[in-house]
Amino acid sequence: AQSVSQHNHHVILSEAASLELGCNYSYGGTVNLFWYVQYPGQHLQLLLKYFSGDPLVKGIKGFEAEFIKSKFSFNLRKPSVQWSDTAEYFCAVERGFYGGATNKLIFGTGTLLAVQP
């Protein structure tokens, strides 16, 4: 069965530290890849996505992610985190594309990031 793995469940960083959160998926076909973020007390929202093209994608708030097809990975990075980045981060994989496909997202278990001021 298709699955999404996030190996870091809890990450604690100091402000200005660099961040990399791992995400691996098991599906061998063509996929769309996403990172969603949930700030404390807020709803899940899209951080960035990859459909095709340049495997290095940039999202909001200085985040970026790199798709490495050979490694089935889509790791999230930020060179310098801020206290306001404290949140839970979810990687998600969508299999299937247009015209009648289910297009459902499969989420990883999430990584809770705490940034200390």
Which residues contact other proteins by CB under 8 A?
4, 6, 32, 34, 42-46, 49, 51, 90, 92, 94, 96-110
CA nearest to 86, candidates 49, 61, 106: 61
Closest distance to other proteins from the beta carbon of 6 (Å): 8
Closest distance to other proteins from the beta carbon of 56 (Å): 18
CB count, 10 Å around CB of 11? 16
* CA–CA separation, 89 and 72 (whole Å): 18
Tokens of 106: 């499969």
Cα 98 to Cα 32, 71, 89, 103, distances in angstroms: 12, 25, 27, 8
The residue (of 17 and 112) whose beta carbon lies closer to other proteins is 112
The residue (of 17 and 106) whose beta carbon lies closer to other proteins is 106
Closest distance to other proteins from the beta carbon of 14 (Å): 25
For residue 37, give the DSSP letter.
E
Amino acid code (one letter) for 20? E
The residue (of 5 and 17) whose beta carbon lies closer to other proteins is 5
Closest distance to other proteins from the beta carbon of 110 (Å): 5
The residue (of 13 and 111) whose beta carbon lies closer to other proteins is 111
